[in-house]
Each structure stands twice: as C-alpha cells, then as structure tokens.
Amino acid sequence: MKTTRREFIKVSSLGLGGVALAGGGFSLSKLFGESKHQGLDMSKLKRYPTYCDVCFWKCAAWTYVNDKNEIKKVAGNELDTHCRGRLCPRGTGGLGMYYDDDRLKTPLIRVEKDGKQTFREASWEEALDLISGKMKDIKSKYGAESFALLKHGSPGKHFEHLFKAFGSDTIAEPAFAQCRGPRAVGFKLTFGSAVGSPETTDIRDSKCLVLIGSHIGENMHNSQVQEVSDAIDRGITIITVDPRLSTIANKSKFWLPIRPATDMALLLAWMHVLIYEELYDKKYIDKYSIGFDKLKEHVRKFTPEWAYPITDIKPNQIRETAREMAKASPAVLVHPGRHVTWYGDDAQRSRAIAILNALLGSWGKRGGFYFSEKLKVPKYPHPHYPEPNWDAKDLSKKYPLAKTGITTEVIRASIPDENTEHKVKAWMVAGTNLTQSVPNKKMTLKAIEALEFLVVVDLMPMEITGYADVILPECSYLERYDMIRSSGWRTPSIALRMPAVEPRFNSKPAWWMAKQLGEKLGLGDYFKYNDYKEVIDWQLKQLGTSLEEMKHVGVMNFNRNGRELYLKDGEDYKFKTPSGKIELYSEKLDKMGFDPIPVYKAHEKPPQNYYRLIYGRAPMHTFSKTINNPYLNDLKDTNNLWINPRVADIWGLKYGQEIWIKNQDGKVSDFPVKVRITERIRWDSVYMVHGFGHNNKKLSRAYGKGASDSQMITKVLVDPLMGGTGLRGNFVTILLDNPHKNIES
Ligand SMILES: Nc1nc2c(c(=O)[nH]1)N[C@H]1C(S)=C(S)[C@@H](COP(=O)(O)OP(=O)(O)OC[C@H]3O[C@@H](n4cnc5c(=O)[nH]c(N)nc54)[C@H](O)[C@@H]3O)O[C@H]1N2
Ligand SMILES: Nc1nc2c(c(=O)[nH]1)N[C@H]1C(S)=C(S)[C@@H](COP(=O)(O)OP(=O)(O)OC[C@H]3O[C@@H](n4cnc5c(=O)[nH]c(N)nc54)[C@H](O)[C@@H]3O)O[C@H]1N2
Ligand code: SF4
Ligand SMILES: [Mo]
C-alpha cells in the first residue's frame, strides 16, 4: 500500500512546546510561563550539565536552576551528538522525575504489625546494616553467588561493582533477553559485530530505510528521530513493515501491513528477489562473504508467490520494494530494530535482516552501517574482583549464544522446585520494574515468594517495591553524579552528569549506597574515595580534561583515531567472525545444531474470537517508569486498545467504550481499557502502548489507568539460541462486562 508523505513528527515540535502546553496543577506552563523562554530570564539561572535518564539514549543536557535552588528547566546541550541541542518530550519532562511528590522518600523496612505486613520508615544506617548483614548471611550459608543483582540503567552499574567485589556475578538485566539480545547475536554471527547503542545506522546519508516493526517516531530515540526527520525532508524512500499504520508507516512510501509473526517469510522472499533478479551487490558479496551459493540454493523456493499467503503481502509489492532497496544500494538500511524479542526465533530473524543488508552491500558503507568509535574511560583503580564459583551465564548454559545473564533464568533459579544446577536465594533489584518488564509475572512472583531476602532500589513506589523486604530510595539523575557517558558514534564523545540540586527528601545516589554497603562488608578497598566526583575527576584527567572543565561544557567531542568511518572501495577488511568474512552460512550455528541459514517456521495463529496482542511505545512515555511523571502524565494519562472496525462491528463496540481483556490462559486485565476503533490496525491483532495499568495505589496519577500488556503476556516464546523471551505470542479476547464486579462489591 502506498501512502502519501506527510510532515514527520519533529522532536522539536513535540519537545518543549508540547510539554509546556499541558495544563493541570503541576504543569510546566506554570513553571515556565507563556513567553518564548516560558517566562524565564535565562541570564538569572545557573546551569549544570547532566545527561538525560528518562531513557537509554542518554542525551546530554543542561539543568537550569534559579537562585532559590529550584529546577526550572532541562534543555538539550548544543554540543551533543545524541540530541543536537534538543530534547524529546520525555527529556523535557524529565524534571517531573525530580518534582514527583509520590517519590520514595526514605528507606523502608517490611515489618509485621498486628499480624499484617507493612513498611516502616528506617534510617539509612539501619537499612544498610540490615542489607549488609543479609548479604554476609547469604554468603556464609550459600556463597555470594546466590545473591543476584537484577538491574537496569545507571544505578545498576554502581551495584554491579559492589556485587563483583562481593563475589557475585549473578547479574542480569532486561536489556538483553527482553530487548536487543537477539539483534546482537544475529548481527555478530553474520558480521562479527553488533550494532550497539546508539545504533551504528547511517540514517543521515541513507537513501532507503526499511523498518521492520521498528516504529521510529513513537520509539523516540532522539538523534535517530531527528536523522529520519531530516532524511524525509530530503526525500528518502521509507519502507515500513508493520501490522499497524505506525507514525512512520504513515510517512512511508510503502507500508506493508504484514500478518504478524511472518516477517521471516518476507525476508527470505526479499533475498530471493535480490539474488534471482541479480540485484544484489556482487562485488561486495564476492569480496567479503562466504556461503553465497548455499544461500542462493536455500532461498530458491522462497519466491514472493510462496510468501504471499503467509505474509499477506502481494508478490508485486515484495518485488517492487526489493527493487527499491537495490536501487539505493549500498546507501540502504534494513534497520535492525531494537526491541526484537517477539516470537522466539528472533536471533534468526535478526540474522536474516543482517544477511539482507549484506546482499545490499550496506555494512560499512555510507548510508548503511558505519564503523563507530568510542573512547575507553579508564577504570578507577581497585583490587581484582574475586572469581565466583558460578555466575549468571552458568544459569543460561542451555542457551549457548547468551553472552550475558538472562533475567528469566536468574528468576527460574530462584524457584526451589525448578531443576537448576545452582540456586539463587536473594535479590537486589535496582532500576528495573521486574513485574512489568519481564514476562510471566506468575513465575517472578513465585520466585519472590521463595527468596530469603529482596532489596529494591528505586526512585518511585513502583509495583516491584511492594514485594521488597527493604526499599532504598534513590535520588533522581538531576540530583546526583553518575559514571561518565562514553558513546560510540561517528565521532567519540563523553558527557558529564552532575547534581543541580541537593537530593529531595531522604534519598541518596546509588554510588553512595554501593560504597556504604561495600564498607560495611569489609570491601572498602574497592571504594577508595569519599565522593564519586573524585572518581570522575580522576578518569577525566586520564582523558586529558577535568571535572572543572567538563562542568562548563557538559560534553566533549573527540576526533576519530582509529579506522575510517566507511570501507573504501575494494578495501581489504577482516570481519570478526570465525571465517573473517560475512557469514551468510554459519558453520558455527550448524555445529551447534541450529539452522545455518534462517528458516521460516509457522507460528501459532490466534484462536477464534481472539486477537494477537501487540504493543509498542508512545512518544511521551518510557516503559512503565514515566506514567506517573506529573508533566508526562499530563500529556498522556492512559492507553487504549486499537481495534479494527471489522472487529468492533463483530463485538458491537463503540469508540471510547470501556472493555476488559482476557488472554488465552484466562488471565483478565485488572483495569478496563478504552477502545480506539481504527483502520490503522489489522483485523487479526489489537495494539496498546506498553507501561500502563499500574496497580500500586501510591502512584497517584498512574494507578488504575489503562491496561498492562505485561499482565497479558503469560506465554513466552523462548529463543533457543540465546534465551530471549518472545512476547508477542499472546492472544486476547474482549470482555464487555466488568469481570471483577462481584469481587469488588
Ligand atoms: N510487556 C512488555 N515488556 C517489556 C517491553 C514491552 O514493550 N512490553 N519492553 C522491553 C524493553 S525493550 C525494555 S528495554 C525493558 C525495560 O525494562 P525496565 O528498565 O525495567 O523498565 P521500567 O518498567 O520503566 O522500569 C524502570 C524502573 O526504574 C525505576 N527508576 C527510574 N529512575 C530511577 C533512578 O534514577 N534510580 C533507580 N534506582 N530507579 C529508577 C523506575 O521507577 C522503574 O521502577 O522492558 C522490556 N519488557
Ligand atoms: N518514546 C519511547 N521511545 C523509546 C522507548 C520508550 O519507552 N518510549 N524505549 C526505547 C527502547 S529500550 C526500545 S528497545 C525501543 C523499541 O522500539 P522499536 O524497536 O522501534 O519497536 P518495538 O517497540 O518493538 O515495535 C513496536 C512495533 O512493532 C509492530 N509489530 C508488532 N508485531 C509485529 C510483527 O509481527 N511484525 C512486524 N513487522 N511488526 C510488528 C507494532 O505494531 C509496533 O509498531 O524504543 C526505544 N525508544
Ligand atoms: S531520547 Fe528523550 S528521553 Fe531519551 S535520553 Fe534523549 S531526551 Fe531523554
Ligand atoms: Mo529496550
């Protein structure tokens, strides 16, 4: 289907303006006023550098503070490649993380009172003594390895150091098995390198961009969105494959509304067209790859006519889009996506995407994938970490290509009646709302029930905190130092995060908690500094600058020192694969008993009256963590369920009607969700934005608003290569009446 080009969602237009326009008692307009600078006299404000923590793009920014030490604004740093001086709406609204009065305020300890469990306030000393005591206790009973760290983002890094010093490398985060792990594995197997974060996609110079379920524009990764927006202005061809007319699909030359779970068939058919119409980059393939003949034979039968009944995409559209890609080659990007844990064959689908890029000769080419360069920040000296007897990777042995811990395997090893080689007895959870971000909540809760101890470090009273024995309140990124941001990019850069104000309430930075715990555990040698800024200053001096200098600039960009950004014509290049070539056929996979070339395998279809549950991002929210943010909640306070008009007709639904959903395993949504009837979604699927449906009443704005996709994901399609948890194999049906009515009355 061809669509007309419309103006693409611009970061700037959705940025400050969007947030400032929001009404409500706690809106930015109140803080900023109405004029160009929202009524602020910028000359009267002091500014402090930071990098944004609302998502993992880590845009460098300035925090503006007035003479009463009130934060007035967070704005992009002009020097920064991640944001090019402009923050996305979430970044602009980041000060809501600071101003949210629902924040955790002081350490809390679970106690029993009159036969009921409750939290009581505690001093830091008491809470940290309790935690270090438990850590020692677990270590002496079961070994340090049995104390696991489940983490995400900045706080996790500080605790990782503590845990490794303590003797535990039982560490995992959702960024791997719930996010981009399959992509890293698929690209590494093929090119010997992953695409990293920020991705090494050269959208700036690309002529054709293919997006496979990657919804840039709703996925608001800042400079990536800006590059796409610029590319649209200069006339790039975009091909979007998505069962939903996403924002970017709406701006694409081609929207292919694929039947969900069948992308592999389309990828194989595209390879077929490129090879059999001789459109692929012959010189590139001859010079850099191995296994072409096997690939050619493999895809011989995967014609567009074969793919049509599987994917619902017409053969002429498959051919036409393949030719568009070839026309732009090598300045063409089949985007690898980011959240790619979909159907359990995700590493193989990522590999198919990598192979397609190889056929188009785009890896290492302008407008394709560039070679990034990153500055290595020297490690602050500390003794060697002790060698643990086992670690998280040992828990993931059945997934031979998992290069890092798998959250779900750490969780499984915490359940007594699961047959695992090692047992986990206690967790620290830092910066991850596990019950929302890891599927199969029932399993997570079973593990939590069996744990001897659970400590949660968070900013907000998120659901996971409700299960903790001890809760430690971290201060927000605007109130703390953190590690130096060092980015791999076209050119290397570093950025500083420093506090603009003192922590609110009785909250503390993660580095401080880690150091206190370290000292209580007799690991003081690993924390030989009084303040983390000493670590940063030492590191910056090794890099030829200093904390003082970085406070003035926030960001420092460096020249490239290593190889060139792109491959030169005919350049010899050794890929970091076993053969030194791009591996279209993988001997390694073959030896491991996996398909050496990706194969299409049919996935389960929705049963009658059920629809596949798909989900994604909204531009103004990050996962579950921003839903209660006063400013961002003003912009969007609930999600709704996208339903095709054909389906709405069958059920007699009206726009805006409240319904409940039930999945294939009988799981019913806690809260109702409003219906959005739209042609923008296929009839076999329903769609919602992830992160809503919070069930902790302490989140005054987020509680009970919308439905949680996570709650419906009880079935997990596990990737046999690397343990990724495919989340899109769940089906829901519609309940018109409140299923909780009797329980509530
Ligand atoms: N169903 C479903 N599951 C998913 C996804 C999905 O789309 N749908 N997406 C997947 C993807 S791509 C990813 S990357 C993961 C993301 O998974 P997570 O990173 O776990 O995402 P959140 O649910 O936002 O949880 C972040 C937690 O960190 C807390 N936090 C925020 N700021 C701070 C801070 O400064 N310090 C501390 N200590 N804590 C802080 C928040 O309050 C929140 O509890 O989820 C994955 N899981
Ligand atoms: N605003 C905002 N931006 C974010 C984030 C955020 O929380 N908020 N999170 C960041 C993170 S950590 C990540 S990992 C990325 C994730 O962002 P992306 O990797 O871009 O996307 P997903 O969330 O996986 O993609 C959802 C899209 O896939 C489509 N889809 C569903 N099923 C199928 C299918 O079978 N085939 C195809 N072809 N498409 C399908 C959905 O309709 C939807 O449009 O976003 C990042 N950017
Ligand atoms: S993309 Fe937005 S939320 Fe993410 S770091 Fe940048 S400004 Fe912050
Ligand atoms: Mo992610």
Q: What is the pLDDT of residues 93-110, one digit of tens each?
A: 999 999 999 999 999 999
Residue nearest to atom 7 of ligand 3 (CA): 91
Ligand nearest to the CA of 154: 1
Q: Which of 9, 19, 81, 83 to mutate to test the pocket of ligand 3 (most atoms within 8 A of CB)?
A: 83
Mean pLDDT of the chain: 94
pLDDT band at 600 (very low <50, low <70, confident <90, very high): very high
Ligand 3 centroid–CA 93 distance in Å is 10
Residue 187 has pLDDT above 60, yes or no: yes
Give the up-direction half-sphere exposure of residue 708: CA atoms within 13 A in the CB hemisphere. 30
Residue 19 has pLDDT above 60, yes or no: no
DSSP annotation string for 169-193: --EE-HHIIIIIHHHHHHHHHHHSS
Average pLDDT estimate for 255-264? 98
Q: Is the CB of 179 under 6 A from ligand 1?
A: yes
- What residue has token string 């919804």? 215
Cα 655 from Cα 650, distance rounded (Å): 14
Q: What does the pLDDT look like over 683-734, one tens digit per residue?
A: 999 999 999 999 999 999 999 999 999 999 999 999 999 999 999 999 999 9
pLDDT band at 43 (very low <50, low <70, confident <90, very high): confident
pLDDT band at 42 (very low <50, low <70, confident <90, very high): confident
Is residue 221 within 8 A of residue 198, CB to CB? The reply is: yes
Please name the amino acid found at residue 716.
V
Residue 90 has pLDDT above 60, yes or no: yes
Average pLDDT estimate for 408-424? 97
Cα 371 from Cα 488, distance rounded (Å): 9
CA-to-CA dists, residue 685 to 48, 190, 245, 540, 551, angstroms? 46, 32, 12, 51, 50
Q: Which listed CATH number (3.40.50.720, 3.50.50.60, 3.40.50.740, 3.40.50.970) goes with 1-17+104-170+392-474+510-528?
A: 3.40.50.740
Q: What does the pLDDT look like over 189-218, one tens digit per residue?
A: 999 999 999 999 999 999 999 999 999 999
DSSP annotation string for 391-446: -HHHHTTTSTT--S--HHHHHHTTSTTS--SS---EEEEES--HHHHSS-HHHHHH
Helix (H) or strand (E) holding 317: helix 315-328
Average pLDDT estimate for 45-71? 97
Cα 624 from Cα 433, distance rounded (Å): 8
Ligand 4 centroid–CA 439 distance in Å is 14
Q: How high is the pLDDT of residue 9?
A: 36
Q: How high is the pLDDT of residue 4?
A: 38
CATH topology of domain 611-744: Barwin-like endoglucanases (2.40.40)
Average pLDDT estimate for 627-643? 98
Domain with CATH 3.40.228.10 in the chain: 184-370
Cα 628 from Cα 47, distance rounded (Å): 26
pLDDT band at 741 (very low <50, low <70, confident <90, very high): confident
Q: What are the structure tokens assigned to 690, written together?
A: 């992830």
pTM: 0.95
Residue 11 has pLDDT above 70, yes or no: no
Ligand nearest to the CA of 15: 3
Task: Provide CB contacts within 8 A for 288, sequence distance 6+.
Answer: 358, 573, 575, 581, 582
Q: Which of 9, 14, 52, 84 to mutate to test the pocket of ligand 3 (most atoms within 8 A of CB)?
A: 52
Q: How high is the pLDDT of residue 13?
A: 37
Residue 346 has pLDDT above 70, yes or no: yes
**Domain 40-99+476-508+529-563, second-level architecture:** 2-Layer Sandwich (3.30)
Q: Which residues surround ligand 4, an ion (CB under 5 A)?
A: 179, 339
Residue 618 CA, closest ligand 2 atom number:
1
Cα 224 from Cα 213, distance rounded (Å): 16
Q: Shortest CA distance to 81 belongs to which of 227, 231, 196, 233?
A: 227
Is residue 430 within 8 A of residue 395, CB to CB? The reply is: no
List, as own/partner pairs, every contact residues 249-253 make where C-beta atoms lie below 8 angstroms and the sequence separation is at least 24, other chains included.
249/3, 249/211, 249/215, 250/3, 250/6, 251/3, 251/5, 251/6, 251/8, 251/217, 252/3, 252/211, 253/2, 253/3, 253/5, 253/324
Strand 426-430 versus strand 453-458 pairing type: parallel
Angle at 370 between CA 366 and CA 376, to 5 degrees: 150
Residue 35 has pLDDT above 50, yes or no: no
Average pLDDT estimate for 282-295? 98
- What residue has token string 């059999």? 276
Which protein residues touch ligand 3 with a CB less than 6 Å away?
A: 52, 54-55, 57-59, 83, 87-88, 90-91, 220-222
Q: Which of 9, 54, 81 to mutate to test the pocket of ligand 3 (most atoms within 8 A of CB)?
A: 54
Ligand 2 centroid–CA 249 distance in Å is 13
| Alpha helices per DSSP H over 642-694 | 645-651
Give the up-direction half-sphere exposure of residue 75: CA atoms within 13 A in the CB hemisphere. 18
- What residue has token string 């639904």? 653
Lowest model confidence (mean pLDDT) among 36-40, 412-416, 712-716: 36-40
- What residue has token string 């039968």? 301
Please name the amino acid found at residue 147.
F
Residue 156 has pLDDT above 90, yes or no: yes
- What residue has token string 């995700």? 346
pLDDT band at 23 (very low <50, low <70, confident <90, very high): very low
Domain with CATH 3.40.50.740 in the chain: 1-17+104-170+392-474+510-528
pLDDT band at 37 (very low <50, low <70, confident <90, very high): low
Ligand 2 centroid–CA 215 distance in Å is 5
Ligand 3 centroid–CA 51 distance in Å is 9
Cα 345 from Cα 338, distance rounded (Å): 15
Q: Report, in angstroms and rounded to the nearest whole number, the Rg of the chain calculated over CA atoms.
A: 25
Q: What does the pLDDT look like over 686-697, one tens digit per residue?
A: 999 999 999 999
Residue 41 has pLDDT above 90, yes or no: no
Cα 32 from Cα 40, distance rounded (Å): 6
Ligand nearest to the CA of 434: 1
- What residue has token string 């602020």? 40
Q: How high is the pLDDT of residue 745?
A: 42
Average pLDDT estimate for 514-538? 98
Q: Which of 429, 432, 438 to mutate to test the pocket of ligand 1 (most atoms within 8 A of CB)?
A: 432
Cα 46 from Cα 688, distance rounded (Å): 41
Residue 82 CA, closest ligand 3 atom number:
6
pLDDT band at 398 (very low <50, low <70, confident <90, very high): very high
Cα 373 from Cα 31, distance rounded (Å): 40
Q: What does the pLDDT look like over 660-669, one tens digit per residue?
A: 999 999 999 9
- What residue has token string 């350049």? 571
Task: Provide CB contacts within 8 A for 122, sequence distance 6+.
Answer: 106, 107, 108, 109, 130, 470
Residue nearest to atom 29 of ligand 1 (CA): 431
**If DSSP codes are grouped into helix, strand and coil, which group holds residue 152?**
coil
> What size, in residues, is the chain?
745
Ligand 3 centroid–CA 52 distance in Å is 6
Ligand 4 centroid–CA 663 distance in Å is 24
Ligand 4 centroid–CA 436 distance in Å is 13
Strand 493-495 versus strand 555-557 pairing type: antiparallel
Is residue 492 within 8 A of residue 55, CB to CB? The reply is: no
Q: What are the structure tokens assigned to 281, written together?
A: 């980059």
Ligand nearest to the CA of 210: 2
Q: Is the CB of 476 under 6 A from ligand 1?
A: yes
Residue nearest to atom 47 of ligand 2 (CA): 219
Residue 28 has pLDDT above 60, yes or no: no
**Domain 184-370, second-level architecture:** 3-Layer(aba) Sandwich (3.40)
pLDDT band at 743 (very low <50, low <70, confident <90, very high): low
Cα 410 from Cα 177, distance rounded (Å): 12
Residue 135 has pLDDT above 60, yes or no: yes
Average pLDDT estimate for 267-277? 99
Ligand 4 centroid–CA 93 distance in Å is 20
Give the whole-number percent of the chain exceeding pLDDT 70: 94
Domain with CATH 2.40.40.20 in the chain: 611-744
Average pLDDT estimate for 171-199? 97
Domain with CATH 3.30.200.210 in the chain: 40-99+476-508+529-563
Give the whole-number percent of the chain exceeding pLDDT 90: 93
Please name the amino acid found at residue 469.
D
Q: Is the CB of 179 under 6 A from ligand 2?
A: yes
Ligand 3 centroid–CA 53 distance in Å is 7
Ligand 3 centroid–CA 629 distance in Å is 14
DSSP annotation string for 714-745: ---EE-TTT--EE----EEEEE-S-TTHHHH-
pLDDT band at 3 (very low <50, low <70, confident <90, very high): very low
